[in-house]
Structures are given as structure tokens and as C-alpha cells.
Amino acid sequence: MAKRRTSSSAGAFGIPIALKFAVFIAVLVIASMAWQTHTATTEAQARLESEINQSGAAISAAIGAAFDPSWFEGAAGQELIARKLTELRESTGTSRLIDVVVYDSMGRALATATGRSSFARTAERVIGSEGLIDPGVRIVEYRYEDVPVRSFSRGIPGGRVEVYLSAAEIERSRRDLADAMTRVSITASIAAALGAYVLAHFLTVPIRTLLRDMRQVSLGDLDHKSQVRTSDELGGLARAFNVMTMGLKSAQELKLSQRAMEHELSLAVQIQTRLLPSETPGLSGFELSRYYAPAKEIGGDYYDFIPLDGGHLGIAVADVSGKGIPAALIMTLTRSLLRMATNGENVPSRSLDRINRSLGPDMSPGMFVTMVYLVLDSGNREARLCRAGHNPPLLYSSKQGKVVSLHPRGIGLGIDREGNRFASELQVQRISFHAGDVLVLYTDGVVEGKNRDGADYSEQRLSSVLASHAAGSAEEISDAIVGDLARHTRGTEPSDDVTLLVLKAL
């Protein structure tokens, strides 16, 4: 259930790229049009204001130039002023002119062009007179009977004149232009968004195709190839995807092959382990302990206990050169040859010579087997030992209180294919055991075990541990060696099998 939900959520999408692109373009167009609307409205309003200001200033200047100071004297003069103002209002021919008022030097209204006697004015705002033809004009904007009005005041001999022009046209122009620009902005934004969506939808076709290809591969179809053939970055991405898919297929095939190989190696390790003795034989007057730890890679370590005639016991420890299946096969062959060669034979040198003559012709160049083989006569407390190129056994002498390394001559099995040299160099060493003596047989996985610095465990360290724990039982000695080796190699992966046999005389 959980897996199905995960798959479903993986296939869900948020906002498509085309829609995101369309929204972005629409917002960009709206912002651009809003800025243009603001700019155009501001410029148009400024031009219209300048036109009204120049008109008002011109009218007030004309009145001031034509005004006679004698008109301020008596009622006849006031009637003359009123008549002149009316004529002026009618002669201008502009609908903007609302009224013209003449004030005396005391600020009293003497006459108006409309005959009004009072003016309801609110919300005064002084406007600068820069750029006017008559800089002596003072411009003030009012709300005159709820209509925006601009007053142009100019001093004249004996008083001042004020010209009132309607400013409603400015607000109306601002509203009309804003409405027009808004309609244009909306239309342009919709058109731009649709165009952007169509363009983005077209441009993202390769992306959607590549996405379908990815889904197909995610379902396990590693033979699927993307069909995107564009020459841009998406085409490069599709080609990289195809290369990745081929690499993934190769990696999966390699992984399957490795799993099969690991399974086969596991079976080989099991078979190899089963060929080793399942029990340690009991010996009169001796203790025998064994330890075997295979590495991850199949090695060629081998040990065996072979009952012989007359109550003797053959003990062998061997190591095949190389790793893997070939080493395991050679080890299996060596085990079979050893058991055949020791049948009815208690002399270790003759047994090894038989093995070498049978093994030599079948060995590939560079392949060989090292072995320590001894025949133990527990009744007489002695052993005859041969070493075919193997690591020298260690013998702890309880009388001398020290460890001796045994080095009888001998070369590895399979090196001398004809066998004459092997037989001539093979030496037998006799060992007489006393109570407390300890013999240790091992493979190179013990003395060549490496720590993190790459240093070997060494035969010298093995001898030291043997000497310090020789008073213990065979099992205790084996545990001490294995424990010390584990401390030395802590944190590293063992590269070779570890085989250890401890024989102690009681």
C-alpha cells in the first residue's frame, strides 16, 4: 500500500512550466503597462496644466494691461468694470473661464464677470508659476462649488484681478486616460499571457517527452531510448539520459552477474568448509585445538586429520597459491591426493612425494601448494615432520622455556613437475615431545595479517604470544593467538584465510 501511494505521488505535478511562464509574462506586461500608464497620465496632465496655467496667466495679464486706475472711482467706475469684465468673458470663447473678479486695494470685490457677490472656496493649494509668460501671477487651486478651479491673481494699479478657470478638464483627462490605458493593459496582458502559454507549451514539448521517457525507464524498461532530437540543451540532456540508461543497464547486468558469482562463491565456500574435518580427534597424552576463518574471497587453506595404521595420526596444514575457484579446486584435489597417498603409509616424506608426482603435471605455471605434514605417534610421544615450502612450524620447549622455529628443507608441491628435485630436497625432522611442549602449525594468513598501517602480524609476535601462554591448554593458547591477531588487524578486512592448529603434550 505504501509503495503504491509513493508511486502515485511521484507522478503528480504542480503548476506546469507553461502556466508559470504565462503568469510571469502577464505580470511583466501588467507592470510595464502600469508604468507606461502612470508616465503617460503624468505627462498629459502636466501638458494640460501648463496649457491652463498659460491661458489663465495670459488673461490676467491682458486685463491688467488694459485696466485704467480711474475705473476704481465712484459707482460709474464699478459699472464700467463689470461691463468690461462681462465683455472680456464673452470674448474669450473658452468654456474654462468661470469668472473674473476685480478687488480694490482693501481686498473688496468691486465687480465680477458673472455678477456673483461671494465665492465658496475650499482646499486651497498653491501652484508654482515657473515657466509662465508673466511670473507676477499667483496661481492657487480651489474646490469652487465642488468643482476644481484655478485662480490666477495679478496685481493691477489700485487693486488686483483674479481669473478663475475650471480645472475639471484635468481630472477628466486623467480619468479618461487612466481608463483607456487600463483597458489596453488588460487586453495586452491577456494576449501576452496566451501567447506566452502557447510558446511555453511548444518549448516544453521535449521536456514532457523526456519525462515520459524517464517514467518508462523507472518502470524497469532499460532498453527504452529517449526520442528527443533537438540540438539545444534539452537535446543534450536527452542524449545524456540515454547514456545514463545504458550505463544503468550495464550496472544492473553487472550487479546480477555479481550476485550470481557471490552465490556460487558462497556455495564453493560451503563445499570447501565441508571438506575440512568436522571434529577434532581425541589423542592420548596430547591436546589438539584447531581454528579456521575463511576470508571473503575463496582461498586455498586446508587442514586435515588422517588416521593411519598402528594408531598413528597424520596432521596436515596446507595453503594453495592464488585465490578464488582455481585455488579451491587445487585444494580439493590436494585433499584427495593426500588421503590416497597416506593409505597404508606412515612415512610423511613418501606421502608428500606421491602427492607431488600426481599433482605436478596438472598444475598451471605459477600454481603450487605449500604444506606441513607430520605423522604423530602419540604412544611414543614423537612425530616425524616434513615441510614442503610452508611457513615454519613453531615448537615451544618446556625444558628450554623458549620457542624454536622448525626449518626442515622442502619446496612447494607442484613446482617440480618431474619430482626428482622435490624428493631430493625434502627433509624429515623428528620431534620428541615432553610434557608442556607445544607445536603450532599455521598458514600465512596468521603472520601476514595486516593492521591499518600495513604492518604484518609477524612470526616474531606469534612466537611471543605462544611463549607467554604456553602454560595454558591447547584451546587457551589458540584463543590467545587468535585474540591477539584480531587486535592487530582491527579495522581492516582480512585478505587471506586464517588456519591455526595447536598440539600440546600433556
Angle between helices 348-359 and 324-341 (to 10 degrees): 130
433 vs 195, residue with greater confidence? 433
| pLDDT the model gives residue 129 | 57
Task: Identify the residue with better confidence: 315 or 199.
Answer: 315
Regarding whether 458 and 336 lie in a shared domain, the answer is: yes
Q: Say if residue 319 is in the same domain as residue 458.
A: yes
d(CA 232, CA 175): 49
What the block records as the C-alpha cell of 462 is 606469534
Confidence of residue 368 (pLDDT cuts 50, 70, 90): very high
pLDDT of residue 384: 97
- For residues 245 and 374, membership in a common domain is answered with no
Residue 468 C-alpha cell reads as: 607467554
The torsion angles phi and psi of 129, rounded to 5 degrees, stand at -110, 20
Q: Is residue 2 part of a domain?
A: no
Chain segment 236-282, per-residue pLDDT in tens: 777 777 777 777 777 777 788 878 776 766 776 677 777 789 889 98
Residue 408 in contact with residue 427, Cβ under 8 Å? Answer: yes
Residue 8 belongs to some domain of the structure: no
Single out the residue of 106, 115, 160 nearest to residue 138, CA to CA.
160
142 lies in the same domain as 236: no
Q: So what's the pLDDT on residue 86?
A: 72
Return the closest-CA partner of residue 113 out of 91, 88, 138. 88
Residue 484 lies in a domain: yes
Which of the two residues, 437 and 21, has the higher pLDDT score?
437
pTM assigned to the model: 0.54
* Contact status, residue 191 vs residue 22, Cβ threshold 8 Å: no
What pLDDT shows up at residue 9? 42
The CATH number linked to 451 is: 3.60.40.10
Distance between alpha carbon 308 and the CA centroid of its chain, in Å?
65
> How many Å apart are CA 271 and CA 273, to the nearest integer?
5
Q: Which residue has the cell 499571457?
A: 193
How far apart CA 338 and CA 355 sit, in angstroms, is 6
* Higher-confidence position of 217 and 421: 421
Q: What is the pLDDT of residue 318?
A: 95
What average pLDDT score do residues 465-479 get?
A: 96
More confident residue, 471 or 299: 471
pLDDT in tens, 76-105: 666 777 777 777 666 665 667 777 888 877
- Whether residues 153 and 291 share a domain: the answer is no
Q: What is the pLDDT of residue 122?
A: 61
245 and 284 in one domain?
Answer: no
Domain boundary among 230, 260, 290: 260
Give the residue, 73 or 440, on which the prediction is more confident.
440
Q: Greatest CA span in the chain, whole angstroms?
A: 170
One domain for residues 237 and 330: no
* DSSP conformation letters of 413-441: BTTSSSSHHHHHH--EEEEE--TT-EEEE
Q: Total structural domains in the chain?
A: 3
Q: Are residues 122 and 232 in the same domain?
A: no
Say if residue 401 is exposed, middle or buried (CB neighbours under 10 Å; 0-12, 13-18, 19+). Answer: exposed
pLDDT at 505 over 60: yes
Contact, 192 vs 33, CB < 8 A?
no
Contact 418, 476 (CB under 8 A): no
pLDDT above 90 for 503:
yes
Q: What percent of the chain has pLDDT over 70?
A: 85
Residues 300, 254 share a domain: no
pLDDT of amino acid 72: 65
Cβ atoms within 10 Å of 38's Cβ, excluding its own: 12
* Same-domain status, 237 and 298: no
- Does residue 124 share a domain with residue 56? yes
For the stretch 136-191, pLDDT in tens is 788 888 776 677 888 788 887 778 888 888 777 767 777 777 777 778 778 877 88
Assign residue 131 the CATH number of its domain.
3.30.450
CB 248 within 8 A of CB 275: no
Q: 202 lies in a domain? A: no
Residue 458 has pLDDT above 50, yes or no: yes
pLDDT score, position 132: 58
With a cut of 80, say whether residue 111 has pLDDT above it: no
Indicate whether 181 belongs to any domain: no
Work out the angle between the directed axes of helices 205-218 and 168-203 (0-180°, nearest 10). 40
Average pLDDT score over the chain? 81
107 part of a folded domain = yes
Together in a domain, 53 and 89: yes
Backbone region of residue 253 per phi and psi (left: phi > 0; alpha: psi in -120 to 50; beta: other values): alpha
Closest CA to 59 of 36, 87, 78, 24: 87
pLDDT per position as a tens digit, 281-295: 989 999 999 999 887
The boundaries of the domain holding residue 472 are 279-505
Instruction: For residue 270, tell me if it sits in a domain.
Output: no
Residue 3 is assigned to a structural domain of this protein: no
Asked whether the predicted pLDDT for residue 426 surpasses 80, the reply is: yes
Spatial separation of the C-alpha atoms in residues 283 and 367, rounded to whole Å:
35
Predicted confidence band of residue 429 (pLDDT cuts 50, 70, 90): very high
| Sheet bearing 498-505, strands edge to edge | 286-293, 498-505, 438-442, 394-397, 402-405
